[in-house]
Amino acid sequence: MFVISKIFWLVAQPMSLAFLSLLVGVLMMLARLRRSGGILASLGLAVLFLSLFTTAGPYFLQILEDRFPRPSPPPSELSCIIVLGGAFENVVIASRGGMEFNQAADRFVETVRLAKAYPSARILVSGGDGSLSGAYEGDALASQGFFEAFGIAADRVIREEASRTTFENARYTKDLLAANRLERCALVTSAYHMPRSVGLFRSNGLEVVPWAADYRTDGKVRLGFDFTQPSLNAQLATTAAKEWTGLAAYYLLGRTQTLLPQ
């Protein structure tokens, strides 16, 4: 299932879908299947235009980000802080060493802030190697030096190193929480990723305090045209499409109880 999902997403993401539709459409027109080829090529152009020059991507990402606001007021105590991996550039680290982050670095920055605010809480880092090759460290291992740099003792951190997907994050974390007798936990992940994560944790019988980080929108996006930042629009459209596809897939597979948890 893991490999299938990776291959599917290589084809189904907006830019790939637009390219393949255009390519196959042109080839069909050259083969004198002009009507069918024209429809397919037009579909590719439509996906490309929507991704580059409209706010469709940011708008649908914003819907997910607004689903689980941070608790206000914050809880008086927490027994643990669960942070989901996906923030370290493990391919770069393997080649160049050091400590390199991608755009999701806020997950770990927020975790450090929470660790300081709740000094008795344990930290559980859930994240193995999610690459197809399986040749790199996951975030659970890569984060060890990061937490030490901020004065967080190694024995305070629990590492879940086997998961490759959000489904596995929830399933393997459940066993570790039970083994360490931890119940009242905050869940830190990207705001757009929170609905899918909470849905999967609930399906595994885990109630968590959603603690969103890594917001990608300002919360004020409306549907419309936007010709000012096509590359950013395309990036957010890809992220939104992946997350909504994941929500639908997990629901259809029976891994979550609702399509859009709240």
CA separation, residue 181 to residues 40, 80, 154, 178 (Å): 55, 10, 18, 5
Tell me: pLDDT of 133 over 90: no
Residue with tokens 């080649």: 95
Residue 70 DSSP code: P
Same domain for 106 and 49, yes or no, is no
Q: What is the Rg, in whole angstroms, of the alpha carbon atoms belonging to the chain?
A: 20
Q: How confident is the model at residue 129 (pLDDT cuts 50, 70, 90)?
A: confident
The answer to whether residues 165 and 2 touch, using CB atoms and an 8 Å cutoff, is yes
Asked, for residue 219, whether it belongs to a domain, the answer is no
6-26 average pLDDT score: 92
Same domain for 106 and 207, yes or no, is yes
Same domain for 95 and 206, yes or no, is yes
Per-residue pLDDT at 76:
93
Helices 230-252 and 34-53 sit at what angle, rounded to 10 degrees?
110
Tell me: pLDDT of 119 over 80: yes
Predicted TM-score of the model (pTM): 0.93
Per-residue pLDDT at 10:
86
Asked, for residue 87, whether it belongs to a domain, the answer is yes
Asked, for residue 71, whether it belongs to a domain, the answer is no
What's the mean per-residue pLDDT of the chain? Answer: 94
Q: How confident is the model at residue 9 (pLDDT cuts 50, 70, 90)?
A: confident
- In the chain, the number of structural domains is 2
pLDDT tens-digit readout, 25-59: 999 999 999 999 999 999 999 999 999 999 999 99
The 3-state DSSP class for residue 33 equals coil
Asked, for residue 258, whether it belongs to a domain, the answer is no
Same domain for 98 and 35, yes or no, is no
Same domain for 47 and 113, yes or no, is no
Same domain for 13 and 97, yes or no, is no
Same domain for 164 and 230, yes or no, is no
pLDDT tens-digit readout, 208-245: 999 999 999 999 999 999 999 999 999 999 999 999 99
Asked, for residue 176, whether it belongs to a domain, the answer is yes
Same domain for 59 and 15, yes or no, is yes
141-162 average pLDDT score: 94
153-178 average pLDDT score: 95
What percentage of the chain exceeds 70 in pLDDT?
Answer: 100
158-164 average pLDDT score: 95
Asked, for residue 229, whether it belongs to a domain, the answer is yes
Per-residue pLDDT at 11:
86
Name the phi and psi angles at 101, rounded to 5: -120, 160
Q: How confident is the model at residue 6 (pLDDT cuts 50, 70, 90)?
A: confident
Per-residue pLDDT at 175:
95
Same domain for 48 and 106, yes or no, is no
Same domain for 95 and 200, yes or no, is yes
Same domain for 99 and 197, yes or no, is yes
Asked, for residue 262, whether it belongs to a domain, the answer is no
Same domain for 51 and 99, yes or no, is no
Domain enclosing residue 50, as ranges: 2-65+225-252
**Euclidean distance between CA atoms 80 and 103, whole angstroms:** 24
Residues 6+ away with beta carbon under 8 Å from 202: 256, 257, 261
Buried b (16+ CB within 10 A) or exposed e, 187-212: bbbbbbbbbbbbbbbbbbebebbbbb
